[in-house]
Chain A
């Protein structure tokens, strides 16, 4: 089962360049049988905020493939997780 460890980094391709990203959080969902990963390339957007990316992956897939999140309910769940993390960090 694919898991990420503390301080592990992942690399993405952004604007034709390889960018190393810090993993911020992960979580699972029994409803979708998927796991999710939140990460950031530490870039600051034009509105002054730090960008966070969230992707899904199949924990049973031996290959490291990140999937996009398109389902509205999944996005709701991601939102819930972010709010929960935010609340618990206070």
Chain B
């Protein structure tokens, strides 16, 4: 059938119209609205199901039930369609009415002249919809159509079901009743499908009819007879002709299904009845009764699916048996009923028989009223015992939850046990065991009749069924008796009448369906643990009762859980969303109670799914609640906020910190913001993510910013993606390939000489920058320099000839340093480490790629030295620790000397030992770290040879630096040997004190015999030994390639501090402490003074800027005045004539100049404020502008100066005021430039000083308070101050600068020099 029930609830005109059209398209080959006859239905079925063949009479007789049923449904269907059609007609009429009305109204507006057709149509539809939406009549029609539409959808489903059933029945050749019986008997279609399967037609049968091929149809038809035979056998076995047969059928479990007895007569002998009644008491648990002697009904029901058995076993193992009895009772009822109506059955025998039947029924009734049984297995641990254990634990859990809460450890532990038992139970269960257990059970325990028992035995209390349940179950209740005939499972749902009929189900049922029982309400009902399902769970249980594989019945039982609050009035809580226009929400339970169908998706309020309700629905609930009795209901409103809970959403964007902060996000986010996904995904945190461009990011941010429902928050999460991508360490050969890929490397490329320490004179830089010259580096010119310089050659002119080689080297270096534009070839840290490990001391094993090795080695040397630097830091730390310990040791020793012998002294001695231990530990670490550094710097035999060779031959800087000019000092060597031996012995004997003292002695000897002097090779060892506390620090500091690595303030300070530590604390113990303090104090004063002056200098900048600006304006004004005078002089003080023309030009020029000054000022100040330039740069630019201006004015006024000069000469008065300064400017064209440069230089120096001084002071502060360090810091400050002094001297072109220079020089320069020199003298 065509499905018309799935339309969305959309009442727009277009949808309604579309719906109408689809209704019309339904083709049933029948008249739409007439009642159908049986023949009509059969005709239709023949058309729809070609496999249904045969004479009409067969169908109309054997299958009349089906035909009738289908006919009824079709007729109902037709009537509803008629009703829909009528309503649609009404709707159309209403619609047309409004359309006409609207047309009339708009006509008066004469819209034709104003609007296009499209615009008119749009406006027309808009107003039409608006009119319709407020019309209650048309709305009611729409609602009615909607209701009918749902109803017709339901009927469609029923018809489909009925037709399919009919096809099954027809296929098996059985009637409707037979089909229903067999289905109930067999519990599922599995049996039928097994038969179909055995005949090889199952798949064909299960196919949709229209999909069956002609061959398949034929095969199905051929198999039909044999299928019918099989089914007939089953029916024969399961036909219930008497109570005895029924009982036998129920309890005989033999597998010999083929050796059955033919169906028995309805009559029952007295003997049999006695037999039954005698054995009734043991009916449940004994072996199956052999009521019919040797002739058994051997049919055994098809095994239930495993999941059903597993789940049901715990709960209903007793109820199955009771179900059987219930079925017997019902059948007995039927028999009794039939006898009552039989006028011919009034013989004595008949009466006796009748009486016996009644007695039997009564006995069974009584038996049923013996309610719950406990089943005990005698042997081994059984499913039952496990089940009991499970229940006990569940009980325990219940108590623990009450005591500790759901999330407590105690509950978690017990949950674990429960899971274990549950697992065991499942592994133990199988269908046959289950049967055995039921059959053997015999221990019936009588209990008081109570609600639970009633529930268990199937006595349903529909009279007191909760209203909402009743509403839902009315249809089922009609078929209740019919359903009771079957052997379905039964599930009891307890409804708490004190709490709005809140449902509860037993734990076993809960486990069967849902398994999880976290955060749910648990109660005891008649001693059994029960849980309250959510509405969703409740619906699931309810809606799945007719499932194919394990159908079950539902029974509703009223309970009074909390009588204390049963004051007669119950509350219904409706939620009022204060952040959503006071919209009222109701829980699904409440909506169900009052028969309201939710129209929108649920939202979560206080953990329950709730739906919006309209004011009308609110009214309905209130009205019904008010009218309701027993219990009385009261509606309460609770204000809630829903927005922050429901309508907020986070969107995560990943920022790849190891990929230039590239943004990534998931496809869902792209989709959410309507951005198309591009590129291949990268996995981030297990999710495929795509690159997000900055523009796309902006779109997301903007949209998120404007989002309201939900409010979207964009969260940026930093992630590393490269690590994930590169988990395997690159191989050495891969790294080499990376460096050299696509480069045309020639044999000599790697041997290219490298320049260092390049210094370029500023004038040359400026010249290059100006682009004024192209240079000629020609090949050769014979020239001899004066003063001994000779052989001057011009170098090769073909600078660019070697471009390839240079490019290769440059690119390789870039890759090695991670700076290549080909980013994929840039070496990572991991790559460098691979190279390092490969090359380090193992050159023989490394490939001799001499084309590239020199370039690689260069980078590796830097890399290695970075490592050494790190080691140096550790050495420094430990060295300072030794020094600090040394101080403490001295103090402790002094303390001990003063103490008398005794316990207290012993304690102090222990403290001393601890101090030695700390110091020794640091000594060991220093030794280890020095070895580590040596390994890095001069690894292996080859390294030693190279170092020695360099020293021997003075081949390079290192060799020059370390070679000794003095004879070998044997005495010194003896001292060193003795100290060294002490160190090693102390280490071996783990003598901390000795190790510490020997180390200090050894360091002292080395230090005292080391002398370093400056030389052409840099700092050079001129003493007998070379002492360096840090790992080879001095060796490389002057090395042009790597000195930057070692010339950081921190490293140098560390070295100095260690050396000074030795001097102060070990060599010159306790000397000069007062001097040190004094120097420190002085040093601090210097620093304060320097900082103050820095601030002074920096504070002048704004004044300087304004001063220069003022000067510029003044220049213009003065120039103009001077020009005026010149023009007057030129025109001989006569107005008119040349005066007017010159004056006009002068005014014009002056205006231009002022305008130019203003423009330049604005530009510079604007750049300054925007941060593009610094204040120093602003000063410099103003100075330059002023200089240009001055030159321009001078040049412009030069002819007028001449005129004035001539005029003055012809008149008797001095003209110095104009001429002197003019001439001075002419003679000093760079005055302003120099002035600006001087100011700039001062400012820059001040900047430098302001930055450097604090860092130096910080460094000083971190060091021990010793003299050498203090002096070093003083010298640093001094150097900078003197730098300022010197700079000012060089730029001394103005009085102010000169004055300031003098002040500074006086304040810092000489003063500090003097003081420092004095200090130095003292310490020397």
Counting CB contacts under 8 A, is B464 at the interface? no
Binary CB contact string for chain A from 27 to 45 against chain B (1 if under 8 A, 0 otherwise) = 1111111001010000001
Could you say which of A13, A27, A66, A70 contacts B759, with CB atoms under 8 Å apart? A27
Within 8 Å CB of B960, what residues of A? Answer: 60
Could you say which of A38, A77, A85 contacts B754, with CB atoms under 8 Å apart? A77
Could you say which of A1, A49, A65 contacts B1018, with CB atoms under 8 Å apart? A1
Within 8 Å CB of A31, what residues of B? Answer: 753-754
Could you say which of A13, A25, A30 contacts B957, with CB atoms under 8 Å apart? A30
Counting CB contacts under 8 A, is B841 at the interface? no
Cβ contact within 8 Å between B753 and A73: yes
Cβ contact within 8 Å between A82 and B778: no
With A1-B1016, A53-B792, A82-B799 known as contacts, the answer to whether A89 contacts B758 (CB < 8 A) is no
Could you say which of B751, B754, B765, B799 contacts A89, with CB atoms under 8 Å apart? B765
Counting CB contacts under 8 A, is B769 at the interface? yes
Counting CB contacts under 8 A, is B793 at the interface? yes
Complex-state Cα separation, A74 to B748, whole angstroms: 13
Q: Tell me the nearest residue of chain A to B768, going by C-beta.
A: A89
Complex-state Cα separation, A55 to B786, whole angstroms: 14
Distance (Å) between the CB of B858 and the closest chain A CB? 10
Could you say which of B752, B754, B785, B793 contacts A10, with CB atoms under 8 Å apart? B785
Q: Tell me the nearest residue of chain B to A57, going by C-beta.
A: B789
Cβ contact within 8 Å between B795 and A13: no
Contact residue range for chain A?
35 or more
Counting CB contacts under 8 A, is B726 at the interface? no
A42-56 with Cβ < 8 A to chain B: 45, 47-55
Within 8 Å CB of A10, what residues of B? Answer: 785, 789
Distance (Å) between the CB of A88 and the closest chain B CB? 8
Distance (Å) between the CB of A80 and the closest chain B CB? 6
Could you say which of B760, B784, B785 contacts A24, with CB atoms under 8 Å apart? B760
B781-804 with Cβ < 8 A to chain A: 781, 783-796, 799-800, 802
Distance (Å) between the CB of A75 and the closest chain B CB? 5
With A31-B754, A49-B773, A69-B793 known as contacts, the answer to whether A6 contacts B761 (CB < 8 A) is yes
B1001-1026 with Cβ < 8 A to chain A: 1015-1018
Distance (Å) between the CB of A1 and the closest chain B CB? 4
Cβ contact within 8 Å between B796 and A79: yes
Within 8 Å CB of B783, what residues of A? Answer: 12-14, 53
Cβ contact within 8 Å between B754 and A30: yes
Complex-state Cα separation, A50 to B774, whole angstroms: 6
Complex-state Cα separation, A45 to B1017, whole angstroms: 38
Could you say which of A6, A51, A54, A90 contacts B762, with CB atoms under 8 Å apart? A6
Could you say which of B792, B1017, B1018 contacts A66, with CB atoms under 8 Å apart? B792
Complex-state Cα separation, A13 to B769, whole angstroms: 29
With A30-B1040, A68-B793 known as contacts, the answer to whether A76 contacts B752 (CB < 8 A) is yes
Within 8 Å CB of B755, what residues of A? Answer: 27-29, 36, 77-78, 80-81, 84
Complex-state Cα separation, A32 to B955, whole angstroms: 10
Within 8 Å CB of B751, what residues of A? Answer: 73
Could you say which of A27, A53, A68 contacts B757, with CB atoms under 8 Å apart? A27
Distance (Å) between the CB of A37 and the closest chain B CB? 10
With A31-B753, A64-B789, A79-B796 known as contacts, the answer to whether A45 contacts B759 (CB < 8 A) is no
Counting CB contacts under 8 A, is B1224 at the interface? no
Counting CB contacts under 8 A, is B727 at the interface? no
Distance (Å) between the CB of B1296 and the closest chain A CB? 25
Cβ contact within 8 Å between B806 and A79: yes
With A80-B755, A85-B768 known as contacts, the answer to whether A25 contacts B760 (CB < 8 A) is yes
Within 8 Å CB of A13, what residues of B? Answer: 783-786
Cβ contact within 8 Å between B759 and A22: no
Distance (Å) between the CB of B1284 and the closest chain A CB? 17
Could you say which of B757, B776, B787 contacts A45, with CB atoms under 8 Å apart? B776
Counting CB contacts under 8 A, is B956 at the interface? yes
Cβ contact within 8 Å between A67 and B762: no
B718-777 with Cβ < 8 A to chain A: 748, 751-765, 768-769, 773-777
Within 8 Å CB of B800, what residues of A? Answer: 79
Cβ contact within 8 Å between B799 and A48: no
Counting CB contacts under 8 A, is B943 at the interface? no
Cβ contact within 8 Å between A54 and B789: no
Counting CB contacts under 8 A, is B1041 at the interface? yes
Q: Tell me the nearest residue of chain B to A11, going by C-beta.
A: B786
Within 8 Å CB of A51, what residues of B? Answer: 775-778, 794
Within 8 Å CB of B778, what residues of A? Answer: 45, 51
Within 8 Å CB of B791, what residues of A? Answer: 55, 66-68
Within 8 Å CB of B681, what residues of A? Answer: none
Cβ contact within 8 Å between A80 and B752: yes
Counting CB contacts under 8 A, is B864 at the interface? no
Complex-state Cα separation, A88 to B766, whole angstroms: 11
Distance (Å) between the CB of A21 and the closest chain B CB? 9
Distance (Å) between the CB of B914 and the closest chain A CB? 49
Counting CB contacts under 8 A, is B805 at the interface? yes
Cβ contact within 8 Å between B773 and A86: no
Complex-state Cα separation, A34 to B652, whole angstroms: 59
With A30-B754, A60-B960, A80-B755 known as contacts, the answer to whether A66 contacts B765 (CB < 8 A) is no
Distance (Å) between the CB of B1070 and the closest chain A CB? 40
Cβ contact within 8 Å between A25 and B761: yes
Q: Tell me the nearest residue of chain B to A14, going by C-beta.
A: B783
Cβ contact within 8 Å between B788 and A64: yes
Within 8 Å CB of B777, what residues of A? Answer: 51-52, 54, 78, 82
Complex-state Cα separation, A27 to B785, whole angstroms: 20
Cβ contact within 8 Å between A50 and B773: yes
Distance (Å) between the CB of B1147 and the closest chain A CB? 43
Complex-state Cα separation, A61 to B1293, whole angstroms: 39
Cβ contact within 8 Å between B785 and A86: no
Could you say which of B760, B792, B1040 contacts A68, with CB atoms under 8 Å apart? B792
With A54-B777, A68-B793 known as contacts, the answer to whether A29 contacts B756 (CB < 8 A) is yes
Within 8 Å CB of B760, what residues of A? Answer: 24-25, 85, 88-89
Complex-state Cα separation, A68 to B781, whole angstroms: 10
Distance (Å) between the CB of A71 and the closest chain B CB? 8
Distance (Å) between the CB of B363 and the closest chain A CB? 113
Could you say which of A1, A27, A50 contacts B756, with CB atoms under 8 Å apart? A27
Cβ contact within 8 Å between A25 and B759: yes
Distance (Å) between the CB of A9 and the closest chain B CB? 11
Complex-state Cα separation, A38 to B793, whole angstroms: 11
Cβ contact within 8 Å between B785 and A78: no
Could you say which of B761, B781, B788, B1041 contacts A22, with CB atoms under 8 Å apart? B761
Cβ contact within 8 Å between A28 and B775: no
Complex-state Cα separation, A87 to B815, whole angstroms: 19
Within 8 Å CB of A6, what residues of B? Answer: 761-762
Q: Tell me the nearest residue of chain B to A73, going by C-beta.
A: B753
Complex-state Cα separation, A12 to B756, whole angstroms: 26
Within 8 Å CB of A83, what residues of B? Answer: 799, 806
Distance (Å) between the CB of A36 and the closest chain B CB? 7
Q: Tell me the nearest residue of chain A to B751, going by C-beta.
A: A73
Cβ contact within 8 Å between B753 and A32: yes
Within 8 Å CB of B753, what residues of A? Answer: 29, 31-32, 73-74, 76-77
B1118-1174 with Cβ < 8 A to chain A: none
Cβ contact within 8 Å between B802 and A79: yes
Cβ contact within 8 Å between B796 and A12: no
With A23-B761, A30-B956, A75-B796 known as contacts, the answer to whether A12 contacts B785 (CB < 8 A) is yes
Known: A22-B763, A80-B752, A89-B769. 12 other contacts (CB 8 A): A1-B1018, A22-B761, A24-B761, A24-B764, A26-B758, A36-B755, A45-B776, A49-B774, A49-B775, A76-B805, A79-B802, A81-B758
- What are 6 residue pairs bridging A and B, where the CB atoms are less than 8 Å apart in the complex? A1-B1017, A36-B755, A60-B1016, A64-B789, A66-B790, A85-B765
Binding site for B on A (CB under 8 A): 1-2, 4, 6-7, 10-14, 18, 22-33, 36, 38, 45, 47-55, 59-60, 62-70, 73-86, 88-90
Q: Which 5 A-B pairs have the closest CB atoms?
A: A49-B776, A89-B768, A1-B1016, A68-B793, A77-B753
Binding site for A on B (CB under 8 A): 748, 751-765, 768-769, 773-778, 781, 783-796, 799-800, 802, 805-806, 809, 955-957, 960, 1015-1018, 1039-1041
